[in-house]
Chain A
Amino acid sequence: MRRALPFVAALAALALTACGSSSGATTTPGTPASSGSSSAAGPITVFAASSLKESFTAIGAAFEAANPGTKVTFNFGASSTLATQITQKAPADVFASASQKTMDTVTTAGAAASSTVFAVNTMEIATPASPAVPVASLADLARPGVKVVICQKDVPCGAAAQKLFTQNNLTVTPVSEEVDVKAVLSKVVLGEADAGIVYVTDVKAAGAKVVGVVIPKDQNVTTKYPIAPITASTNAITAKAFVDYVLSPVGQQVLAAAGFTSP
């Protein structure tokens, strides 16, 4: 007994302290900023909304190819979580948010000077590939027995979902309010939820794993995505170059292919 207890105690101490965890920002050491010229070089860390995962990963790879010597590391998550991390001085060089409101918390805190809208997204209903309950319209989400999953209200996709329900006079009782849009999507992909309110781009990215139910334009809500270089960036030149790249025709093309519309 004596021998077992210290072991358990050590485990307990570990477990008690290891409650929650969130994806921390990691900067890769990479190559140091080369010459003193104004060309982009060295590593940057881009904090971007979960819904940008596929498109920004592609843009990042294209940016690295177009600017040899650069290395783009991403930290994807709920925009609100990322904003909190940035205002708490997380080492971000660029922030791309899924809502102006979230971006404003960063600019108000003085962490970024000004932002530019680079994409517009709309909402769509994601349903499982083999649905347990048929969902064909927004109104179906209010039916009893339909398990609806949305983002929690402080996350942009959650705010958008609430707005969607309010402006269409729907009373939807979700079974879960997930921490970000990818968590909503995964609950749908696994077939646990009958429907999830996600972005059009998420449905497109998920491919055959989900079936999208398009929301008519007059019922839908749109979200603007602003991007900004972070003032405290240690690699401001590359940060600025990345922002410009996202706004460039190449970046816009990738975003359009992912389902975003231009601002």
Chain B
Amino acid sequence: MTRRDRSSAAPPWPVALPAALSLLFLGLPLLALLIKAPWGRLWSILTSPTSLQALRLSLETASAATVLAFIVGVPLAWVLARAEFPGRRLARALVTVPLVLPPVVGGIALLLAFGRRGIVGQYLDSCCGITLPFTTAGVVVAEAFVAMPFLVITVEGALRGLDTRFEDAAATLGASRLGVFRRVTLPLILPSLAAGGVLTFARALGEFGATITFAGNLPGVTQTLPLAVYVGLEGDPSEAVALSLVLLAVSVIVLVALRDKWLRAGAAS
């Protein structure tokens, strides 16, 4: 009771002032975006062929990157959470690197690895004629590189926090390993899978640095929404603002969606 009283008391001004300032600092730029938005021309800008093309490409590549992340990221999360092998800590650290690495650096690293002259890319090129830079597939690779860690870390955390007694009980009752995973583990980590998926998708959708460095910028092929925003700033700044609103809206939707997932995830654990 007393604890609650203390925590709900009005904060002293040395705390309240910087707190208010930081809120303002975070909120004002977004507010400016809304104020300066070309509301009158908004619809015509957003429905212009260039915008729709960029939007479609963004949704397609971010979805593809998310699917890719699920296919290879969830098994990785399982291995990191459950398997015992030398270098596991190193592997986990490796997964978090793209999270903190400046995306441009990620783009350069991708070029050096998977570019036409890259250490792996040169063989892809010579054996199968596959070159990733300047292609839509390259955009997906760049987005997956930057965004997949969100899924891996979220799901790994969920698996590690899971009470293994449920799985053990299912196994002793005769369920196969696959059966246990499908009927017990999967439903338990479902909220985290969803949260991780949404985060991954959102991060992929907003990816800029790695994409422009690795995949380049060509409308309809590699020019995703963030690239269109950046390039738009050179020609028609109000177009860039309008496109920014779309990305802002997506971010807000993602956060609202996640809040819901977290509440459910919290209730489940």
- Interface positions of A from 172 to 197, Cβ below 8 Å from B: 174-179, 187, 190-193
Which stretch of A42-50, A111-119, A148-156 is in the interface?
A: A148-156
Q: Which residue on A lies nearest to B30, using beta carbons?
A: A17
Q: A12-B150, A176-B134 are in contact. Are A1 and B157 (CB under 8 A)?
A: yes
The residue among A9, A19, A190, A193 with the most chain B CB atoms within 10 A of its own CB is: A19
Compute how far the CA of A20 lies from the CA of B251 in the bound complex, rounded to whole angstroms.
Answer: 14
CB of B262 within 8 A of chain A? yes
Compute how far the CA of A12 lies from the CA of B149 in the bound complex, rounded to whole angstroms.
Answer: 11
Residues from chain A with Cβ under 8 Å of B216 in the complex: 149, 175-178, 187
CB of A78 within 8 A of chain B? yes
Find B116's partner among A11, A16, A20, A192 (CB 8 Å cutoff). Answer: A192
CB of A132 within 8 A of chain B? yes
Q: A2-B266, A192-B133 are in contact. Are A12 and B199 (CB under 8 A)?
A: yes
Q: Which residue on B lies nearest to A147, using beta carbons?
A: B134
Q: Are A177 and B218 in contact (CB under 8 A)?
A: yes
- Interface positions of A from 1 to 29, Cβ below 8 Å from B: 1-5, 7-9, 11-12, 15-17, 19-22
Q: Which residue on A lies nearest to B195, using beta carbons?
A: A5
- Bin chain A's interface residue count: 35 or more
Compute how far the CA of A178 lies from the CA of B237 in the bound complex, rounded to whole angstroms.
Answer: 18
Q: A1-B269, A19-B206, A190-B111 are in contact. Are A8 and B134 (CB under 8 A)?
A: no
Q: Are B247 and A191 in contact (CB under 8 A)?
A: no
Q: Which residue on B lies nearest to A191, using beta carbons?
A: B117
Interface of B is mostly: helix
CB of A81 within 8 A of chain B? yes
Compute how far the CA of A15 lies from the CA of B148 in the bound complex, rounded to whole angstroms.
Answer: 13
Compute how far the CA of A187 lies from the CA of B160 in the bound complex, rounded to whole angstroms.
Answer: 43
Find A176's partner among B150, B154, B217, B237 (CB 8 Å cutoff). Answer: B217
Q: Are B237 and A84 in contact (CB under 8 A)?
A: yes
Compute how far the CA of A65 lies from the CA of B79 in the bound complex, rounded to whole angstroms.
Answer: 61
CB of B161 within 8 A of chain A? yes
Give 1 or 0 for each of B132-172: 1 = CB within 8 Å of chain A CB. 01100000000000000010011011101110000000000
Q: A20-B226, A152-B231, A190-B115 are in contact. Are A5 and B157 (CB under 8 A)?
A: yes
Q: Are A154 and B231 in contact (CB under 8 A)?
A: yes
The residue among B154, B156, B221, B229 with the most chain A CB atoms within 10 A of its own CB is: B154
Compute how far the CA of A81 lies from the CA of B218 in the bound complex, rounded to whole angstroms.
Answer: 18
Compute how far the CA of A147 lies from the CA of B125 in the bound complex, rounded to whole angstroms.
Answer: 14
Compute how far the CA of A191 lies from the CA of B122 in the bound complex, rounded to whole angstroms.
Answer: 11
Q: Are B234 and A16 in contact (CB under 8 A)?
A: no
- Interface positions of B from 229 to 244, Cβ below 8 Å from A: 229-231, 233-235, 237
Find A8's partner among B117, B150, B215, B251 (CB 8 Å cutoff). Answer: B150
Find B134's partner among A17, A81, A175 (CB 8 Å cutoff). Answer: A175
Compute how far the CA of A72 lies from the CA of B117 in the bound complex, rounded to whole angstroms.
Answer: 38
Give 1 or 0 for each of B236-269: 1 = CB within 8 Å of chain A CB. 0100000000010001001100100010011001
CB of A80 within 8 A of chain B? yes
Compute how far the CA of A155 lies from the CA of B230 in the bound complex, rounded to whole angstroms.
Answer: 12
Q: Are A192 and B115 in contact (CB under 8 A)?
A: yes
Residues from chain A with Cβ under 8 Å of B235 in the complex: 80, 153-154
30 residue pairs A–B, Cβ–Cβ below 8 Å: A1-B157, A2-B266, A3-B161, A4-B160, A5-B154, A7-B153, A8-B157, A8-B195, A8-B196, A11-B150, A12-B150, A12-B199, A12-B202, A15-B206, A16-B255, A21-B209, A78-B234, A80-B234, A81-B234, A84-B234, A147-B134, A152-B231, A155-B234, A175-B218, A175-B221, A176-B134, A179-B217, A190-B111, A192-B133, A193-B134
Point out residues on B near A: beta carbons under 8 Å.
99, 111, 115-117, 133-134, 150, 153-154, 156-158, 160-162, 192, 195-196, 199, 202-203, 206, 208-209, 212, 215-219, 221-222, 226, 229-231, 233-235, 237, 247, 251, 254-255, 258, 262, 265-266, 269
Shortest beta-carbon contacts, A-B, top 9: A4-B157, A176-B216, A1-B161, A154-B234, A175-B134, A191-B117, A154-B235, A80-B234, A20-B208
